[in-house]
């Protein structure tokens, strides 16, 4: 019997990439590949790259080079780049990084097994020529579903092929011909579910739509089917991800489809929490706020993409809003759910940004009481409108503003954490280890980005447990809590 082929997937970047990696893993497992965690133990190391900003691209290149080093002293015979950076740069990346034995675009995902086998056998698969993926789908959102369903356009995380009838254990469900093949790559009690792909917004600083394409929703039945399967696999929390969740359903004829879908997801047996990420402030609506703040098992969590609050900067970014409107939105949310979590990212040093604009952003941050804040210094991105602007700031100015606003953000989020002293919250246990003890997250904390809750206890809790606890201390944005009563979320504990 021939030796089994082995493959390791190394994932960088956002939660959307994690879903794409598990789709690739599902396809490979269904075709007879053995999945291993350690790239040194794999015949092929597949690096799912990020192409968002310079720092992420550097991390992707470093990961590819590190995997290439394994060829000298490990089992690894080939290193292959996939993901956003590979899709965005294609041949250019292949020429600049000969250490990669293959650079595969999204169109290669459906045939990933054949592509890897060709490369592993010493063959060459030509790297693709990048193209603007926004042009692959109809301009009208209502006409896009047919193009995607017919398989004419590759939609990572939306696999459309019919799974084999005899899927190995651990692959996504045979709940219809449109169910994606997916294989979990870890045992974490939280998993992301892709709600849609692409983006129709034209923010002047962002290149994502050019290589991720126009916005296209997954059908509710697909999202529900995948969520049920994940719950059967032991997942307790799902996080809905896409480039813009507030647009979900617009290409299906119902812009309020998310409000209908969320209660159905919350009712899935075994699931304890549903979280929605990537919300556009300009597209928030009262009905969606109501569902997010009042539906049992739906986290009252608002990952709002503000980016800035000075009107002039926002207009140059091709975005909408201002400080007062954003603060009003947060007030509307907290009027319905005072303990609701809110986070956002911001860009400082954008072309044309003045000291007055920075002061306006600081005014917003001081009033917003956000639980988590990400601050990034502006840098040109290939192919974006902002890269053509003339009024660029000196790098030293951008660096100074980044440091200044980051320092303020750190102070404000620590203050916000202190405001939660005495709160009773439901904490989902993520992991337990000897050094750090019991670590989990409350409803206002998304995985990896928003801090954590350290549960101070002598009791034993397993990952995936939902623990009702009271906040007794803070460490920066992290909370320290003590459990109340027994494990679980009883009505008595909630009161």
- Please state, in angstroms and rounded to a whole number, the distance separating the CA atoms of residues 381 and 394: 16
Q: Going edge to edge, which strands form the sheet with 372-377? A: 301-303, 341-348, 372-377
- Please state, in angstroms and rounded to a whole number, the distance separating the CA atoms of residues 294 and 263: 10
489 marked ligand binding residue: no
Q: Among 206, 226, 290, 277, which Cα is nearest to 248's? A: 277
For the stretch 185-215, what's the b/e string if a residue is b when 16 or more beta carbons lie within 10 angstroms of its beta carbon?
A: beebbbbbbbbbbbbbbebbbbbbbbbbbbb
Which residues pair with residue 341 across a beta bridge? 301
Polymer length in residues for the chain: 495
Question: What token pair was written down for 312?
Answer: 């002039």
Cα distances (angstroms) measured from residue 311 to each of 205, 228, 317, 348, 393: 16, 43, 10, 14, 18
84 marked ligand binding residue: yes
Write the DSSP string, 161-222. Answer: SPPPTTPPTTBPP-SSTTPPP-B-S---SEEEEE-EE------TT--HHHHH-S-EEPPHHH
3-class DSSP state for residue 113? helix
- Please state, in angstroms and rounded to a whole number, the distance separating the CA atoms of residues 452 and 278: 20
Q: Check: CB of residue 104 under 8 Å from CB of residue 80.
A: yes
3-class DSSP state for residue 234? coil
- Please state, in angstroms and rounded to a whole number, the distance separating the CA atoms of residues 245 and 280: 8
- Please state, in angstroms and rounded to a whole number, the distance separating the CA atoms of residues 310 and 314: 6
Q: Check: CB of residue 17 under 8 Å from CB of residue 84.
A: yes
Binding residues: 14, 50, 84, 199, 203, 206
Binding residues for [4Fe-4S] cluster: 14, 50, 84, 199, 203, 206
């Amino acid at each position: 019997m021939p030796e089994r082929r082995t493959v390791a997937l190394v994932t960088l970047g956002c939660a959307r990439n994690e879903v794409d990696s598990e789709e690739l893993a599902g396809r490979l497992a269904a075709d007879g590949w053995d999945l291993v965690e350690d790239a040194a133990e794999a015949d092929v190391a597949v690096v799912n790259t990020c192409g968002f900003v310079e720092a992420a691209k550097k991390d992707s290149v470093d990961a590819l080079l590190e995997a290439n080093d394994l060829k000298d002293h490990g089992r690894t015979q080939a290193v292959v780049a996939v993901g956003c950076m590979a899709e965005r740069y294609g041949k250019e990346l292949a020429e600049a990084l000969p250490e990669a034995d293959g650079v595969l675009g999204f169109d290669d995902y459906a045939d990933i097994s054949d592509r890897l086998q060709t490369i592993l056998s010493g063959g060459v698969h030509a790297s693709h020529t990048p193209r603007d993926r926004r042009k692959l789908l109809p301009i009208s959102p209502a006409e896009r579903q047919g193009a995607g369903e017919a398989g004419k356009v590759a939609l990572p995380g939306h696999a459309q092929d019919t799974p084999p009838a005899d899927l190995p254990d651990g692959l996504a469900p045979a709940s219809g011909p449109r169910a994606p093949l997916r294989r979990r790559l870890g045992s974490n009690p939280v998993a992301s579910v892709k709600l849609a792909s692409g983006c129709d917004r034209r923010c002047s600083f962002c290149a994502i739509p050019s290589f991720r394409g126009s916005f296209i929703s997954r059908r509710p039945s697909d999202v529900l089917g995948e969520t049920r399967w994940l719950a059967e696999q032991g997942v307790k929390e799902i996080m809905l991800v896409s480039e813009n969740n507030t647009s979900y359903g617009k290409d299906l004829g119902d812009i309020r489809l998310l409000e209908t879908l969320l209660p159905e997801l919350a009712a899935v047996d075994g699931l304890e929490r549903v979280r929605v990420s990537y919300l556009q402030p300009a597209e928030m609506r009262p009905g969606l706020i109501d569902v997010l703040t009042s539906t049992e098992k739906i986290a009252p969590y608002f990952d709002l993409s503000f980016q800035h609050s000075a009107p002039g900067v926002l207009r140059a970014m091709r975005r909408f809003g201002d400080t007062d409107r954003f603060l009003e939105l947060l007030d509307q949310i907290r009027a319905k759910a005072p303990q609701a979590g809110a986070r956002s990212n911001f860009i400082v040093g954008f072309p044309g940004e003045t000291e007055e604009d920075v002061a306006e952003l600081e005014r917003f941050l001081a009033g917003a009481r956000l639980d988590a804040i990400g601050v990034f210094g502006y840098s040109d991105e290939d192919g974006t409108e902002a890269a053509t602007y003339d009024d660029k700031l000196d790098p030293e100015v951008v660096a100074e503003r980044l440091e200044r606003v980051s320092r303020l953000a750190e102070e404000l989020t620590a203050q916000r954490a202190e405001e939660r002293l005495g709160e009773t919250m439901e904490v989902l246990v993520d992991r337990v280890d000897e050094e750090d003890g019991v670590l989990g997250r409350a409803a206002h904390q998304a995985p990896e980005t928003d801090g954590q809750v350290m549960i101070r206890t002598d009791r034993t809790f397993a990952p995936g447990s939902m623990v009702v606890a009271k906040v007794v201390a803070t460490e920066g944005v992290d909370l320290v809590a003590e459990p109340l009563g027994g494990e679980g979320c009883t009505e008595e504990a909630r009161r």
